């Protein structure tokens, strides 16, 4: 494998001759038969010397090629580094040029001539440096620029007024459109209401007789309406009476509940007073004394059982009273719900 040589790399005459010699050596092709004959004809030490010489020469040729390739790579790397430095400098100049351009665009300075033709210039005392970048403009150019500025301002104000007028027109149009949509929705709802009304045969006959001037059917229809109103009124009256009766029953249940409340309070008061007045330690001592003094101490062993029975009886009484109270509350709640439903029905019927 041979490396390409750079065009700008100079070689010595000795290196050129060695390279040509090595190239000739590398181009030699040995035939297997000839090599076998030579091996048979020549002694082995001469063959090994030839092979060692050829190997060393080819190795030197490869080393020289590697060195030349490395020199070429180093040369190109130097050139690439120099080109990169040039690119960095050019990028820096480009960035600086862009920054200067933006500065000129954003901070554009315009020198105006005063009324007497004077110009404001920062003075340092040096005639050359003070007036190097000074530009003299005639007064007519300044007036022309001012007139253009005034025209542009008037055009801007006119455009703003037109935009405001256009926005107002758009808002008014949107409001009109919304109003029409709302009217359309109202008309649709009215049509639905009209279509939902059932126009019966009797109503058609009534209107027909009314247009034709007939009175018999009209009177019969009105009489029927009066009868229906009377029946309806009687039903309402019955419902009101039922509601009144239910109100009375509610009052009775409330009174009975009050009595139950008072009874429960009395029982609770009795139990609490009994527990407060009762002294268990004194009773225990008295029981011990009586058991020790009396031979019939076995009969006193039943006293705790009697007390337990008494407590159980009191607890049963309290549970029964609470159950009755809960039942009465359920009945009252059901009655209140029924009364409220009847009241709602009566109110709807009155409407």
In the 8-state DSSP scheme, what is residue 300? G
Q: What is the C-alpha separation between 82 and 88, in angstroms, rounded?
A: 10
Contacts of residue 121, defined as CB under 8 A and 6 or more positions apart, other chains included, come to 130, 131, 134
Q: What is the C-alpha separation between 120 and 342, in angstroms, rounded?
A: 99
pLDDT digits (tens, 9 = 90+) for 111-143: 555 666 566 666 777 777 777 777 778 889 889
- Report the percentage of the chain scoring pLDDT > 90: 21
Contacts of residue 291, defined as CB under 8 A and 6 or more positions apart, other chains included, come to 297, 300
44 contacts 79 by C-beta, under 8 angstroms: no
Residue 7 reports pLDDT greater than 50: no
Instruction: Return the structure tokens found at 286.
Output: 């008295």
Mean pLDDT (the chain, rounded): 73
DSSP string, 158-221: HHHHHHHHHHHHHHHHHHHHHHHHHHHHHHHHHHHHHHHS---HHHHHHHHHHHHT--HHHHHH
DSSP string, 9-43: ----HHHHHHHHHHHHHHH----HHHHHHHHHHS-
Instruction: Return the structure tokens found at 233.
Output: 């009124």
Which pLDDT does position 342 carry in this prediction? 62
Instruction: Return the structure tokens found at 111.
Output: 């020198």
Backbone dihedral angles phi then psi of residue 136, each to the nearest 5 degrees: -95, 130
In the 8-state DSSP scheme, what is residue 43? -
pLDDT digits (tens, 9 = 90+) for 154-189: 999 999 999 999 999 999 999 999 999 999 999 999
Mean pLDDT, residues 13-30 taken together: 54
Report which of 69, 70, 57, 65 is spatially closest to residue 22, judged by C-alpha positions.
57
Mean pLDDT, residues 211-236 taken together: 71
């Amino acid at each position: 494998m041979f490396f390409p040589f750079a065009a700008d790399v100079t070689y010595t005459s000795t290196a050129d001759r060695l390279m040509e010699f090595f190239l000739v050596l590398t181009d030699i092709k040995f035939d297997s038969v000839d090599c076998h004959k030579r091996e048979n004809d020549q002694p082995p030490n001469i063959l090994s010397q030839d092979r060692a010489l050829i190997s060393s020469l080819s190795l030197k040729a490869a080393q020289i090629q590697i060195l030349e390739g490395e020199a070429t790579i180093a040369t190109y790397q130097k050139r690439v580094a120099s080109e990169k430095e040039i690119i960095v400098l050019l990028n820096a100049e480009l960035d600086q040029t862009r920054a200067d351009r933006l500065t000129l665009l954003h901070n554009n300075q315009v020198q105006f001539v005063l009324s007497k033709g004077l110009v404001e210039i920062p003075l340092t005392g040096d005639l050359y440096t003070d007036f190097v970048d000074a530009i003299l403009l005639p007064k007519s150019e300044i007036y022309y620029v001012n007139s253009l500025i005034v025209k542009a301002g008037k055009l801007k104000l006119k455009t703003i007024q037109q935009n405001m007028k256009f926005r107002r027109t758009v808002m008014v149009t949107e409001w009109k459109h919304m109003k029409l949509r709302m009217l359309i929705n109202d008309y649709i709802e009215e049509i639905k209401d009209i279509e939902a009304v059932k126009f019966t045969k009797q109503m058609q006959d009534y209107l027909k007789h009314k247009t034709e001037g007939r009175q018999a059917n009209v009177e019969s229809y009105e009489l029927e309406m009066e009868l229906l109103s009377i029946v309806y009124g009687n039903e309402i009256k019955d419902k009101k009476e039922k509601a009144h009766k239910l109100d009375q029953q509610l009052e009775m249940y409330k009174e009975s509940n009050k009595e139950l409340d008072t009874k429960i309070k009395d029982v609770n008061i009795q139990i609490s007073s009994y527990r407060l007045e009762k002294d268990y330690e004194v009773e225990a001592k008295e029981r011990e004394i009586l058991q020790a003094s009396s031979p019939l101490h076995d009969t006193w062993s039943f006293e705790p059982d009697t007390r337990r029975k008494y407590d159980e009886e009191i607890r049963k009484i309290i549970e029964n009273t609470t159950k009755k109270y809960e039942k009465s509350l359920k009945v009252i709640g059901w009655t209140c719900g029924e009364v409220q439903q009847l009241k709602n029905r009566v109110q709807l019927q009155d409407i």
